[in-house]
Amino acid sequence: MRVAIIGSGPAGFYAAETLLKRTDTVVHVDMFDRLPTPYGLVRGGVAPDHQNIKAVIRVFEKTSTRPTFRFLGNVCLGRDVTVEELRQHYHQIVYAIGNESDRRLGIPCEGIPRCTPATVFIGWYNGHPDYRHAKIDLSVSRVAVVGNGNVAIDTARILLRTPAELEKTDVANHALEALRHSQVREVFILGRRGPEQASFTPPELKELGEMEDVDPIVSPDELAGCVIPETEGNSQQEKNLKILQSFSVRPPGTKAKKLHLRFLVSPTEVIADANGNVAGLKLEKNHLEIQPDGTATVRGTGKTEVLDVGMVLPTVGFAAKQITGVPYDEKLQVIANEDGRVVESASRTVIANEYVVGWARTGPRGLIGAHKGASAHVVEHMIADGAGLEARELPEREAIDALLKRRGVQIVSFNDWKQLDNAEVARGARRGAPRDKIVDVEAMLTLLAQR
Ligand SMILES: Cc1cc2nc3c(=O)[nH]c(=O)nc-3n(C[C@H](O)[C@H](O)[C@H](O)COP(=O)(O)OP(=O)(O)OC[C@H]3O[C@@H](n4cnc5c(N)ncnc54)[C@H](O)[C@@H]3O)c2cc1C
């Protein structure tokens, strides 16, 4: 059985591992990624100051040593190879392309300079080649981060860390240099709903109170009406409330930077200055209506204010990118699927032998570990549907390499990646960091060509 997996993030790797562990048949997995580097958001999303999370890479490295696994990096589906060609060379295809677009706030002036989507800002500080030239202007003193999840927290933390805290991480060098000279002193994390509905995880929220040069600020008014538990609490909600309460009773801090957590406000307009840059963010105050089933609905009160900020970073969710030949679900902004089986967008008819895993299947929900079981679940469908498929004769396995080479594509193997990996780690050692990322695809390919 020969399977193509498109995307080398956690969902792709966990699917590969489950397929390669099969004992009833030998599965050959070719894993493609549009970048020369593997691991998706583990490399390009997880915050540089959370290195422990990246230890999961060791699990993926083990998968890469399985004898029937191959990595074909620097190959983009839709640019270098078509879906039709994959169908000719593989018995089954798994799309694991993640969510590489942003959801929009949908408010006036959202696209103006210094209103920067999360993907761009996160990609910039994490050294994603697509965003190495992003214009991130840190000459402003106040920034609004819109959203109430961990991505908002990551974004605020990276903006407010001291250079000394960042130096020992694998933050991209260009970002480290820019952040050294940053004028940002105050960040506002803005939630549309209340503290009880925030989707922060407690350790990440708590960490905001432990940073070197930042005071977290929560006005007691923000917590009015919340039922705060006596003890630390068990649920995420209870733990978050307890942490927010502890921030709200802190005496005024003396640290140089402030982080405000505000709730029940919705941005309604980005305000531009005479040069067209962000000069403020108009907010409407919300109130919550609790429905009979316990869910909370947000309603605007009509009361507005303008928050004086020079930069806006919306972190309100992500969406899968559309690829020619792969059906797309416009409503959910994912690859059209029924429980991981790809379906035609309109008729919902199953497209045989094509599957989707990870965020491309579900949207941006779930931490890295959750993909292990979720990808294995989709592989169960692949096994159930695939009986006898391997009898279909395919071109030789290397025929796909030859096709790509004829098109001038420089395929990056896993061994090639390990060379880049070693080079990055050696560069990083010079600044006492786990790695110093190479952020330019051309530079990566040149380095490999020279060896
Ligand atoms: C900012 C941020 C921080 C996070 N921090 C944490 C954390 O601390 N802990 C945690 O557990 N989870 C964290 N997550 C969540 C975690 O990263 C995701 O759950 C996980 O990475 C999703 O896996 P995936 O494989 O679906 O997609 P991805 O990891 O996005 O991988 C998709 C891969 O597909 C490739 N690709 C895309 N299009 C193509 C194409 N056309 N052709 C070939 N290849 C393609 C991409 O290059 C990429 O390598 C974070 C997410 C974000 C956004």
DSSP string, 248-291: HTSPPP--SEEEEEE-SEEEEEEEE-TTSSEEEEEEEEEEEEE-
Going from the Cα of 14 to the center of ligand 1, the distance in angstroms, rounded, reads: 13
Going from the Cα of 360 to the center of ligand 1, the distance in angstroms, rounded, reads: 9
3 state SS of 10: helix
Going from the Cα of 12 to the center of ligand 1, the distance in angstroms, rounded, reads: 10
Please compute, for residue 100, the number of CA atoms within 13 A of its CA located in the half-sphere on the CB side: 16
Going from the Cα of 39 to the center of ligand 1, the distance in angstroms, rounded, reads: 7
Q: Which tens digit of pLDDT belongs to each residue from 290-342?
A: 888 888 899 999 999 999 999 999 999 999 999 999 999 999 999 999 999 99
Query: Which amino acid, one-letter code, is at 140?
Result: V
Q: Which atom of ligand 1 is nearest to the CA of 76?
A: 42
Ligand 1, atom 13, residue with closest C-alpha: 367
Ligand 1, residues at Cβ distance < 6 Å: 6-12, 32-35, 40-42, 45-46, 50, 53, 76-78, 96-98, 100, 122, 151, 154, 323, 358-360, 366-368, 371
State mean pLDDT over 67-89: 98
Per-residue DSSP letter, 412: B
Going from the Cα of 230 to the center of ligand 1, the distance in angstroms, rounded, reads: 38
- Please, are residues 26 and 65 in contact by the beta-carbon 8 Å criterion? no
Ligand 1, atom 7, residue with closest C-alpha: 46
Q: Which of 55-59, 222-226, 380-384 has the lowest mean pLDDT?
A: 222-226
- Please, are residues 129 and 292 in contact by the beta-carbon 8 Å criterion? no
Pocket test for ligand 1, best of 31, 39, 46 (most atoms within 8 A of CB): 46
Q: Which tens digit of pLDDT belongs to each residue from 228-248?
A: 888 877 899 999 999 999 999
Going from the Cα of 31 to the center of ligand 1, the distance in angstroms, rounded, reads: 15
Q: Which atom of ligand 1 is nearest to the CA of 13?
A: 25
Q: Which tens digit of pLDDT belongs to each residue from 235-284?
A: 999 999 999 999 999 998 999 999 999 999 999 999 999 999 999 999 99
Per-residue DSSP letter, 363: -
pLDDT of residue 121: 97
| Angstrom distance (rounded) from CA 201 to CA 236 | 6
Ligand 1, atom 41, residue with closest C-alpha: 77
Whole-Å CA distances, 243 to 163, 195, 223, 227, 250: 26, 11, 11, 13, 11
Q: Which atom of ligand 1 is nearest to the CA of 38?
A: 49
| Angstrom distance (rounded) from CA 120 to CA 138 | 14
Q: Which tens digit of pLDDT belongs to each residue from 171-230?
A: 999 999 999 999 999 999 999 999 999 999 999 999 999 999 999 999 999 999 888 888
Q: Is a pLDDT exceeding 90 seen at residue 349?
A: yes
Residue 121 dihedral angles phi and psi, to the nearest 5°: -65, -45
Query: Which amino acid, one-letter code, is at 191?
Result: G
Q: List % helix, strand, coil for the chain (3-state, nearest 5).
A: 35, 20, 45
Q: Which atom of ligand 1 is nearest to the CA of 358?
A: 26
Q: Which atom of ligand 1 is nearest to the CA of 56?
A: 11
Going from the Cα of 42 to the center of ligand 1, the distance in angstroms, rounded, reads: 6
State mean pLDDT over 79-100: 98
CA angle 99, 105, 111 (to 5 degrees): 90
**Average pLDDT score, the chain:** 96
Ligand 1, atom 38, residue with closest C-alpha: 97
| H helix or E strand, kind and range, residue 297 | strand 296-307
Ligand 1, atom 35, residue with closest C-alpha: 7
Model confidence band, residue 419 (pLDDT cutoffs 50, 70, 90)? very high
Ligand 1, atom 4, residue with closest C-alpha: 46
Pocket test for ligand 1, best of 41, 326, 359 (most atoms within 8 A of CB): 41
Per-residue DSSP letter, 218: -
Whole-Å CA distances, 144 to 138, 140, 265, 270, 282: 13, 11, 12, 11, 11
- Please, are residues 244 and 208 in contact by the beta-carbon 8 Å criterion? no
| Angstrom distance (rounded) from CA 34 to CA 25 | 29
- Please, are residues 306 and 283 in contact by the beta-carbon 8 Å criterion? yes
Please compute, for residue 129, the number of CA atoms within 13 A of its CA located in the half-sphere on the CB side: 14
Ligand 1, atom 37, residue with closest C-alpha: 97
| Angstrom distance (rounded) from CA 64 to CA 129 | 23
Looking at the DSSP bridge assignments, the partners of residue 214 are 257
Ligand 1, atom 2, residue with closest C-alpha: 45
Q: Which atom of ligand 1 is nearest to the CA of 7?
A: 34
3 state SS of 66: coil
Going from the Cα of 151 to the center of ligand 1, the distance in angstroms, rounded, reads: 13
pLDDT of residue 290: 85
pLDDT of residue 397: 96
Pocket test for ligand 1, best of 82, 93, 97 (most atoms within 8 A of CB): 97
Q: Which atom of ligand 1 is nearest to the CA of 155?
A: 1
CA angle 96, 101, 105 (to 5 degrees): 140
Percent of the chain surpassing pLDDT 70: 100
Per-residue DSSP letter, 56: G
Going from the Cα of 9 to the center of ligand 1, the distance in angstroms, rounded, reads: 5
Q: Is a pLDDT exceeding 90 seen at residue 286?
A: yes
From the list 158, 160, 261, the residue with the least C-alpha distance to 217 is 261
| Angstrom distance (rounded) from CA 87 to CA 124 | 35
| Angstrom distance (rounded) from CA 214 to CA 182 | 14
3 state SS of 129: helix
